[in-house]
Structure formats: C-alpha cells, structure tokens
Amino acid sequence: MSPTDSYTRFVNRPFGKQVAKTIGLPRPVPLRRHTPGDRLASGPILVIGDTEAGDTIAEQLWAESYDVRRDPGLKQKFSALIVALDDTAHPRDLSERVLQVSTALRGLEPNGRVITVFREPQDPSVATDANIVAVRHGIEGFTRSLAKEMRFGATTNGIILSQEVTMAAPAAQAALRFLLSGRSAYVAGQFITISSTAGSLPTDWDRPLADKVIVVTGAARGIGEAISETLARDGATVIGVDMPAADEALTTVMNRIGGIAVQLDITNENAATELIRLAGQRFGRLDGIVHNAGITRDKLLANMDAARWDSLIAVNITAPLRINEQLLAELGQGVVAENFRITSLASTSGIAGNRGQTNYAAAKAGIIGMTQAFADQLAQTGGSINAVAPGFIETAMTDAMPTATREVARRMNSLQQGGRPVDVAEAIALFHADAAAGINGTTLRVCGQSMVGK
C-alpha cells in the first residue's frame, strides 16, 4: 500500500479491522506483489475443466512441482482457481463449471487468483455460429463480474486463446505465470489475448529479459523509474531518457540499476536516430522501447488554448508515432532487432474519458490506436507492440491531490486501493519478454478494475 494510505493501514490493524467490520466500511488488504524467487502460488491450485487447456495447464504446473488438484468438490483452501472453458459451444455449457467455481470460491485464500481460459469470441471460423459467439462473450461477462465479487486482494482475469493457439504456446504460458503471480497484483477483470504461437521460453523465468537493451522514456522518476528498475531486475540493460532538467534524478536511477542516462527531448525530429546511434555504439543492438514520457495540461475544453493542447499532443502521441516509424524503418537492418518490442503508456482516461482532460484522453486513445495499427507490421518479423493503461497509481502527483478526492479515487475499484508504479512496470516487463511475442496489439488495463470504463 502507499505510505500515504493511512486508511488501509488502519483497517488492517486489529482495532481498525473490527471497526470497519462493525459499520460496514471497505477493508482493502495489502496486495501480494512479486519479489525475485517467489513461487507462482503458495498453496494448492485447482484446475477446473477436463479440456485440452485444462490438461495442458495441469501438466505444466505439475512439472514445476505445484500442488495441482482437479477435483472441485474438495473441501480445502486454494491459492488459485483456473477454469478451463475452451471447449464451450453453448451458453448452457457454462452451468456445471461455473457452479464448481462457486463451491471452490469459499476456500479461496486472501490474494488468491481466479483465471478463466477460453477461445476468442471474434474467431472468424465461428463467426456465424451464434451459440459459440454468445457463450464466449458470456465468459467475458462472467469473468468481469466475478472480479467485482472478489475479496481480500483476490483477483479474477482471463486468458483468451485465438484460433489454433493452445496453452502450450510460449505467450500463453507467460500470461498464465503473470496472472498467477504477484506481478499481476493490480490487474483485475482484464483479459490477455494470445494471438499466435510466436516466441520462445526463457531459460530462467526470473530473468526473462536477460541480454535485452531497452529504452525507457521519462525514466527519471515515478512510473518511469519503476519501469527502469523492473526491467533491470529482469535482466535488461536500460537506456533511460529524460529532459535535461531531470538529469540529476535520471543519473541517480541509472547508476543504481546499471543503465545509461540520456538527456533527450523526444519531440526532436531526430530523437529516434540519436537513440539508434547511441544503442549501436554502446551495445550493438536495441531490443525495445517503452514510451512512458508524458505530460498533462488539464483544462475544460471551453478554457483550452492552443499551447496546452499542442504541447500535450506533441509529447504524448506525436513523438511516439514519429519514433516508432523511424525505428520500424530500421527493423532488422543492424541495430534494431527483428523481434523488436514496443510498449506505450495509455490511460483509463483514453478509454473512458475524463472531465478536463480532452487533450490527454485524445492522446492516450491515440496510443491505443497506434498500438493496433503497428501490430501486424511488427508481427511479420517476430516483434510486438502493446500498451498498458494505468488507473489510479500512487505517485507524487496523486499525493498532492486534495485528501477527499484522493480517497474517493483510491476506493473506486474492485481492490479498493491505489496501485503502485511497479504494478504498471510488471505488465510492461511481461510484454518485452521473448515468451510474450504472441501477445500483440493489445491494451492491458492496470487499474484494479476501475469502475470507470470496462
């Protein structure tokens, strides 16, 4: 929890817990987050559904000595429930397994995980079969709603398998591990679509980014600092980029993680050329970029001026577009790796809109569109592009908000608390791993299932 979240600390002490229970106040709990060496789950994992996906998942987990159970009638505690629904062909097929989940939920431990696995609703091979399309969309609704019923830090999310993709695909395994682990602490009610079998498994799941060279813009503080630290923890060498005014903070971060600090204005038309030159000179390669740099210039549209609008658009969407176009023009021709990875920071404001943020929402929705537009081009050489849309993340900026506004924003999600910068960083680290190549063109919300938008 955030150091400033005194309410969450209070309700997790004996007296505060009793007060909250007596008068019916929210009781958010500290979330389980990842540290290197952690197991994916601390207790038994129940796999429901004798399907291809269910059998594959059970075999994968058994191979790593996890305590996997297949009997949903067991009266015991579980750290995770995995619900294989990849064979459903009609809404009536849901009943048996959903009711098995109902029974098992009573034994789900705090900070537990529920993961549904099913087939892509938009699969063109079944597009005219109304029964199949209906049930697959039905699973989406079930998953989102169940996520809102979770308590004590538990989450529900889904893995969607595209046509002919199985749980043996590297990206499917990477997504499963992410959603089971503490890396997904602030991800709830969301879906990761596995669109292809591309990618390769790491030799060490604790260092999936070993030998990667990745640029992070806006790396000096806040979410950018957390992204840099997390990528370095997972084995990457980070080229941290920020404005000259942030040089001291940027240098401190890069020295701590063994990266290199670069003072660069990303709106410069030659920014990408300079990054390629520097990466080639220092490392001989560039494997990915994280577009984190961004600004806010909030104002109601009736009071908006050109300076506020144009400066925000230039930093938040025009610069990433230009840099991506220049990087892709160099794809596989020397420094820029063929399997290049791009991740950009979108926002829940770009999905649902936000009062006083027409400029910001336009830019962040543009990031989502850019992600979809470049996906096919990158996939052709084994690369990928994705976006992460944070919700309420505890930063210096949110600490400066009025107390009442901040408290309301913290509680307006299924986990009833704000996220941390590391929660955003964990999702970005997932997307940059070789195993995740089959996740492409998607936007993953890291928002605790915010009540704003989906």
The contacts of residue 14 (CB under 8 Å, 6+ apart) are: none
| Three-state DSSP state, 388 | strand
| Three-state DSSP state, 267 | coil
Residue 223 near residue 421, CB atoms below 8 Å: yes
Report residue 343 as tokens.
């991740």
Among candidate residues 62, 160, 168, 173, the one with its CA nearest the CA of residue 116: 160
Among candidate residues 174, 163, 231, the one with its CA nearest the CA of residue 196: 163
Task: Report how far apart the first and last C-alpha atoms of the chain are (Å, whole number).
Answer: 24
Residue 207 near residue 232, CB atoms below 8 Å: no
Residue 155 φ then ψ, to 5°:
-130, 160
446: alpha, beta or left, given left = phi > 0 and alpha = psi -120 to 50?
Answer: beta
**Alpha carbon distance 132, 121 (integer Å):** 8
66 has catalytic annotation: no
CA dihedral (115, 34, 222, 210) in degrees, to 10, reads -100
Helices of type H across 39-129: 52-63, 94-105
Report residue 358 as tokens.
């027409």
Report residue 242 as tokens.
């920020």
Q: Which one of the listed residues 7, 66, 186, 360 is annotated catalytic?
A: 360
Among candidate residues 83, 122, 113, the one with its CA nearest the CA of residue 101: 83
The contacts of residue 56 (CB under 8 Å, 6+ apart) are: 166, 167, 168
The contacts of residue 414 (CB under 8 Å, 6+ apart) are: 147, 148, 150, 155, 188, 189, 448, 449
**Alpha carbon distance 341, 216 (integer Å):** 12
Residues identified as active-site: 360
